[in-house]
Structure 1
Amino acid sequence: MDTPMVEKSKLDEDKEGKAVDPSHYRGMIGTLLYLTASRPDLQFAICMCAWYQARPTEKHLHAVKRIFRYLKGTVNRGLWYPKDSSIALTAFADADHAGCQDTRRSTSGSMQFLGDRLVSWSSKSLPTMTLDSIKFGCCAQILWMRSQLTDYGLGFNKIPMYCDNKSAIALCCNNVQHSRSKHIDIRFHFIKEQVENGVVELYFVNTEYQLADIFTKALCRERINFLIDKLGMRSFTPETLKQLADEAEE
């Protein structure tokens, strides 16, 4: 398979579907979950399938088997960390509005880079859909990474965070709207404070270049290939690895 999920696929509870062995299904999911630590291109698909472990049906089992078939064709793929990349900290945050077919919850995705190296990412279902909740987790992760990097003598301010929602950016950056947004959760004001203190800077990015898109929905082959290239993923065949080893020895 050339994609881990069918494009625009929307898994649901499938109450009328034929049930399958839950233990076998959970075993498959448990095996795949280990890969989410090194294969960001699988994160969304695995998390979606993991949501239905209580009562899996044939529909869910077919979705999991598709991930395995995709994995078989991309077994040599992995993250590439170039040693000569910069140490700039940047982030992307995105959400798929009301994407869950059962609860109408949204799925948020975020990622953080050190230079060209993807070092942190997440895909999770949101309990509620608000402009601030999309960016809250991403901003909190940035601050944690910033504090850890301080121990290595690296200081960061004005950390770029890219979002494709102009309304969310306007709320965080425009003080005039403050009186109209007092009803919003305290998390919004937390992000707004980081912007005002110059720790984080919000930038608009077109959906086409929103890298966190891969963590919020099932995409087509061309879109996935474009994004995984931007994430720094490469296909390392045995020949490629031998060549890199030889270059390192020289």
Structure 2
Amino acid sequence: MLIALATKRPWVLSQLDINNAFLHGFLDEDVYMVPPERYSKASPGQVCHLNRSLYGLKQASRQWNVEFCSKLVEFGFVQSPNDHCLFCKKSADSFLALVVYVDDVLVTGSNLADIDALKSNLHKLFTIKDLGHAKYFLGLEIARSSSGTYLNQRKYILDILKDVGLLGCKPVSTPFPHGLKLKGVFGVPCRSGHLRKTHGCLLYLNLSRPDLTYCIQQLSQFINNPHSTYWDVAVHVLRYLKGCPSKGLFYSSAGSTNFQAYCDADWATCPDTRKSLTGFCVFFGDALVLWKTKKQVTVSKLAEAEYRAMSQTVCELLWLSYIAADLQVQDTLPIPLWRDNQAALYIVANPVFHERTNHLEINCHIVRNQFKAGFVFPQKISSKLQLADVLTKSLGLGDFQFLLAKLGMLDLHSIPT
């Protein structure tokens, strides 16, 4: 699942790396721990007194997070209650946003002087390394220009292909065989560690590759029961990546600042449980910022499955609106929610359809509540233009490429034909 917000303002994106923070005695308060087993020099009731937190101890990462967050708060940042990795600082004429992943930090803002002041303050407190404009962050390659920002994971994909030994394989055009539905099978198992390692690598590709979301979700169901059939599908995904390793998302610096969402449900798609599949994607202007594919928790009728998909999408839109508010992004309400199922739209507008709604849970009516509050506005869209289809089913080459282009995916290294 991915969050990214574009802006028209010329913000600067900077990357920091905090090195050896634990080795410099950053803790202001004493930290205590129980003596290790078989340590005989400590008398009963005595404990070890640490002057600093060290790598390898169980509480080290937590103490680092507590210390770093407290220093940011002292500097004027506010930790977002909606995402604890996000810190924001607002002043009369500028705005700073900071994202933390352990000891790696991304900083962006509207004022370069404020960013420099933040770096200077962090350098006084910790040993930091300023990496300049963000180009490579946690396997994510970032390319920026005046027209926008391009994200891809080309190096990470090539490393996966090299580890598996498929750098010289023949590429395919789609990530999942058309019309295939995976189900539980029995027979000769494959190497479980090999499949799980490869699947774990593919999971991280969800960060910038919505075209892989459906196939990764399908494989995730059978990791505990590795079989040669599933390994063949994983190889098919890798062969697809071989043909487009540099495909990624482009976030334009121009465009509107309004959210819109597409959601769909593939009814009774699971051959084993007959549970439906929910897929949705959210755009900020023309930029894809959030997408997800998830199997529903219960077996549902057709209209009910569609309504559950809308309910989950609305919940994600609410959370996304809170993040947007933290980042000082104003959105125009109501948010268009595009669906290709007329029955679900009728239920939102008129909940008196008892025959179709008698199995719906109360929490699913969040869609109607937010519709009445003016937060979302469900609308009908043609099935051919339903972008969420790429997240809920395996499509043919023509439909797959058409919807992928609508999602805003580009390949800067593609060879013209």
Give the TM-score, by structure 1 length.
0.90
The one-character-per-residue Cα deviations of 1:6-54 (angstroms, maximum 9, x if unpaired) are 1111111112x32101111100100111101110001100111121111
Aligned match for 1:204, one of 380, 385, 391: 380
Q: 1:195 to 1:205 in 2, by over 3 A?
A: same
Aligned match for 1:9, one of 155, 159, 180: 180
Aligned match for 2:235, one of 62, 65, 79: 65
Query: What's the CA shift for 1:69?
Result: 0.3
The answer (yes or no) to whether the contact 2:281–2:388 under 8 Å persists in 1 is yes
Secondary structure of 1:20 counterpart: coil
Query: What's the CA shift for 1:184?
Result: 2.2
Q: 1:57 to 1:182 in 2, by over 3 A?
A: closer
Distance (whole Å) between structure 2 residues aligned to residue 119 and residue 137 of structure 1? 16
Q: In angstroms, what is the RMSD of aligned CA positions?
A: 1.9
Query: What's the CA shift for 1:183?
Result: 5.3
Q: Does 1:93 align with 2:263?
A: yes
Instruction: Give the structure with higher Rg (CA).
Output: 2
Secondary structure of 2:323 counterpart: helix
Query: What's the CA shift for 1:86?
Result: 1.1
Percent of aligned pairs with the same residue?
33
Partner of 1:148: 323
Q: Which has the higher helix share?
A: 1
Q: 1:180 to 1:30 in 2, by over 3 A?
A: closer
Secondary structure of 2:292 counterpart: strand
Q: 1:178 to 1:59 in 2, by over 3 A?
A: closer
- Unmatched runs of 5 consecutive residues or more in structure 1: 241-250
Query: What's the CA shift for 1:150?
Result: 2.2
Structure 2 residue identity aligned to 1:170: Y
Query: What's the CA shift for 1:102?
Result: 1.2
- Aligned residue-pair number: 239
Distance (whole Å) between structure 1 residues aligned to residue 343 and residue 356 of structure 2? 13
- Unmatched runs of 5 consecutive residues or more in structure 2: 1-171
The answer (yes or no) to whether the contact 1:10–1:101 under 8 Å persists in 2 is yes
Q: 1:116 to 1:62 in 2, by over 3 A?
A: same
Secondary structure of 1:80 counterpart: strand
Partner of 1:115: 285
Distance (whole Å) between structure 1 residues aligned to residue 279 and residue 174 of structure 2? 18
Structure 2 residue identity aligned to 1:149: A
Aligned match for 1:135, one of 307, 310, 328: 310
Distance (whole Å) between structure 2 residues aligned to residue 180 and residue 43 of structure 1? 30
Partner of 2:214: 44
Q: Which has the higher strand share?
A: 2
Secondary structure of 2:275 counterpart: coil
Q: Give the structure, 1 or 2, with the largest relative contact order (CA under 8 Å, sep 6 or more).
A: 1
Distance (whole Å) between structure 2 residues aligned to residue 68 and residue 111 of structure 1? 24
Q: 1:58 to 1:90 in 2, by over 3 A?
A: same
Worse-superposed segment, 154-163 or 202-211: 154-163
Aligned match for 1:33, one of 180, 193, 203: 203
Structure 2 residue identity aligned to 1:89: F
Give the TM-score, by structure 2 length.
0.55
Structure 2 residue identity aligned to 1:12: K
